[in-house]
Amino acid sequence: MPRFLAFAASPYPNRYEGVLRLVDLLCALHPQLADACCQKTALHNRLFPDRPFREKHIAPLLTYAWRLCKAFLNTEARAGSFELGYLQQLRRRDLIHLYRKEWEKLEKQGEGASSWEAFELAREEEAFNEQVQARQRDDSLLRKERALDHFYLAQKLRDACEMSVRQTILHMDHPQLFRRAIEEEVEARADYYRNVPEIWVYFLVLRMLTEGSPDRFQHALRSLQEQEAHFSRPEQQTLYNYFHNFCIRQINQGRDSWLRENLQLYQLELDRDLLLEDGFLSEWHFKNIVTTGIRLKALDWTRRFIEAYKDRLLPQVRENAYRFNMASYHYAAGDYDRVLDLLLHVEYSDLRYALGARALLLRTYYDLDEYEALESLYGSFRQFLRRKQILAQSRRQGYYNLFKLAHKAAYLRQQLDYITDERARQELGRLQKALHRDEAVFNRSWLAEKIDELARMIP
């Protein structure tokens, strides 16, 4: 906001005094920009205290301020550590002495540059050498090609990692050109690429995601932590998300030992503020941390975390995320009535809430012996899955198997007083086989616990 105010104060992008006054006011009100004080009438009263409200007074200022904001964001996006634009202007004006002095500064800054920045720098150097006819001793073309190769390989590996993660959530079928060739190239020249962190770390992460090996996880995590300084903060956040994704996949396959690994990653990131974006915690990190704490039965720690970090959630999602995660906590604590009360006020604003809330309702109805409610939920959920074709098949199957097996377990428990022990044992055996046969089953450990309870009820 202070930078935006300075931008608005410049007569070059902004010629309107009223817009500067509006931006100055918004800067003073920030971060409460969603409150009533930012409604049109309230802004009008502050900007024009001696005039009655007129739409024509405030509307143009808001329009011009919005255009100015877009221009500001565009300017910010182009800002970087490399002042290549200045360098190019010096070259075009043939100011060679100044150019060489600036070039020396940029070369020093370029030691920790990304491959794309190195490419841009080498490209500018090549243009300069061509202009001053210094090509006979110029290796900038070779550096440019090497930087471009590094950028291309790193970007393709980044995209392959992201594609691998998305395919586990959403139904996507998109061929990734040259991926195999790129992996073979990095593997064949491993000694060289180990010294190019943005290629080597993403290569190891991709192998981890595609092969699902615990050894790959440890190798990739160790490499990231050794090379962390070479990655920007947003890239570190993205990479750690891939490690969480791996842990969650292992947990969903019934390997509960990965819960502790997942929580340790979160605690490391919380300690270093890596999970915060502009001072706020993502509602999905919030949800995953709560889920992990509950699964580890660390209820006191989870309750403290929910209360401590509630105010770090974005204001527009805060109450919804808080209710949903408190519902999860109260379910774990056995306070089922509180669960139902909280879920009544959860908005299914995202597919993840829609799925998570229904799964939580299912478990609550089961534990409350609410068979009719569970039967109704099971029917409506099957319809829901049929409509959501965007869901990846593995995810769809995991939720479908959870609801199908919970429904069968609830029906068997309801029928125990009306069927023979032999029949009950047969039905129980089918349930146990199905639980172990189906690879994709969400909340597998909860289902296993409920089926074990049934086994103890049958002579």
pLDDT digit string (tens) for 253-279?
A: 778 889 999 999 999 999 988 999 888
Q: Give a yes or no: residue 248 inside a domain.
A: no
Beta bridge partners of 281: 276, 313
pLDDT at 185 over 90: yes
**CA distance linking residue 150 with residue 14, whole number of Å:** 41
Residue 427 structure tokens: 């039905």
Q: Give a yes or no: residue 389 inside a domain.
A: yes
CB neighbourhood size of 247 (10 A): 23
Sheet strands (E) in 210-305? 276-277, 280-281
The whole-chain average pLDDT of the chain stands at 86
- Altogether, the residues listed in the chain come to a count of 459
Rg (CA), the chain: 29
Query: Which of these three, 78, 98, 115, is where a domain ends?
Result: 78
Q: Give a yes or no: residue 24 inside a domain.
A: yes
Q: Give a yes or no: residue 157 inside a domain.
A: no
Query: Which of these three, 63, 78, 93, is where a domain ends?
Result: 78
Query: Which of these three, 29, 62, 78, is where a domain ends?
Result: 78
User: What is the residue whose two structure tokens read 């009719």?
Assistant: 372
Q: Give a yes or no: residue 98 inside a domain.
A: no
Q: Give a yes or no: residue 21 inside a domain.
A: yes
- For 335, the 3-state DSSP assignment is coil
* Tally of domains within the chain: 2
Residue 135 structure tokens: 């090509």
Range of the structural domain that residue 38 is part of: 2-78
Q: Give a yes or no: residue 422 inside a domain.
A: yes
Mean pLDDT value of segment 221-232: 92
**CA distance linking residue 99 with residue 93, whole number of Å:** 10
* 7 half-sphere exposure, CB direction, 13 A CA radius: 19
Reported as a single tens digit per residue, the pLDDT across 193-213 is: 999 999 999 999 999 999 888
- For 109, the 3-state DSSP assignment is helix
| The one-letter amino acid at 449 | E
Q: Give a yes or no: residue 41 inside a domain.
A: yes
Measure the CA angle with vertex 213, ends 209 and 215; round to 5°. 115
Reported as a single tens digit per residue, the pLDDT across 47-57 is: 888 888 888 88
DSSP for residue 212: -
pLDDT at 444 over 60: yes
Contact 267, 293 (CB under 8 A): no
pLDDT on residue 93: 82
